[in-house]
Structure 1
Amino acid sequence: MTVAAAVGGHRMSSDGYFDGWQVESVAIECAIADLLALARTAAEATGNDEYDVRLGVEWTGEQSLTILTKDNMGFTYDGVSVPLHRYTPVETTVSAVEPALDYCWHVHDFAQDCVNQGGVSSVLMIRPPARDESA
């Protein structure tokens, strides 16, 4: 099964949009969260518990792909972005029936791997609860 989502070309101001080669890291994160929530729901309904997931990014224009993040004030920031001539797909296998905390961290780690490729080191939207170290 293949799932596609548009994650670029979002509004950047009241009168403008990002170019086709500019993608916000939070848009990638949201697409991942949505996809893996779908996998978890499908696992509950079908009994299929393991899914291979592969995320790639395609863009338009002749510019290199730029993954944008947010600065400390919440404004779009490209100072850490590494222009990509090619985005290497990121793959993982998820057990959609694992405990919720573990699944949340798996989603986080996958998203981090995906945005890291563009120079973004932090996941902004996916914030799993802390693990209980005493357990």
Structure 2
Amino acid sequence: MSSQVFKLRAGVCEYDPESKICTPVPCQGEIEVKPNEEEEMGFWDFQWRPVEKPVGKELSTVSLILIPGETLWIPVSSCKNGRIFALVFSSNERYLFWLQEKNPASLKLNELNDKERKLYDQMSKVLNVDEDVEMKD
């Protein structure tokens, strides 16, 4: 297995299941994905951590174990004014993240830049996903 570590600037989102609205929390954060100690099992560690303290809100680090074939990193295609991804587990547990890298002026708000596309491809490879999957809501 690769000893590669992926990092990306991203924030967390709050999701209201009734309205199906995802709201980004205004806080800078970082995602880090790296091989788990149980390397032979093919597991990966996923961690999101805030890099600043938001006003009036306490955010905790999100630490998860990614299991290839049991976890998906899915772009939320219904978002037109930003780039949101859902980390979805086979148990249907999900976490939503908004990508915070600045886009060149030539890209729309919801288009992935080169760094984000590379991370998406790396995550798909790590999680053994063969084709693009999109989340509608």
- Fold conserved between structures, TM > 0.5: no
Give TM-score scaled by structure 2 length: 0.30
Q: Which has the higher contact order (CA 8 A, sep 6+)?
A: 1
The structure carrying a bigger helix percent of its residues is 1
Q: TM-score, normalised by structure 1?
A: 0.30
Which structure has the greater CA radius of gyration?
1
